[in-house]
Amino acid sequence: MISPYTAGALVLVALIVFGPSKLPEIGKALGKGIKEFKSGVTEESKKTDEQQMLNVTEQPKELPSKTEEKQ
């Protein structure tokens, strides 16, 4: 995990490099990207879970009749 001193140093460097007017825009873009990534991951896991449930609840194939098994 990042220590408070490291986080403060990163914010200070970002403030110097980008300036105070660009930091809110960068923060919004970063937050939006993280939010979209998380929603994509959860959406993908839901699709996988739904597919597994469909496979489990799928009706069994027709079994061969006993006369066909003996032949």
Dist CA 40 CA 34 (whole Å): 10
Confidence tier at 55 by pLDDT (50, 70, 90)? low
In a domain? residue 50: no
In a domain? residue 31: yes
Note down the domain range covering 28: 13-43
In a domain? residue 35: yes
Tell me how far the alpha carbon of residue 36 is from its chain's centroid.
Answer: 8
| Total domains, the chain | 1
In a domain? residue 61: no
In a domain? residue 18: yes
Tell me what pLDDT residue 36 has: 92
Dist CA 26 CA 71 (whole Å): 73
The pLDDT tens digits for 24-54 are 898 899 899 999 999 888 887 777 766 666 6
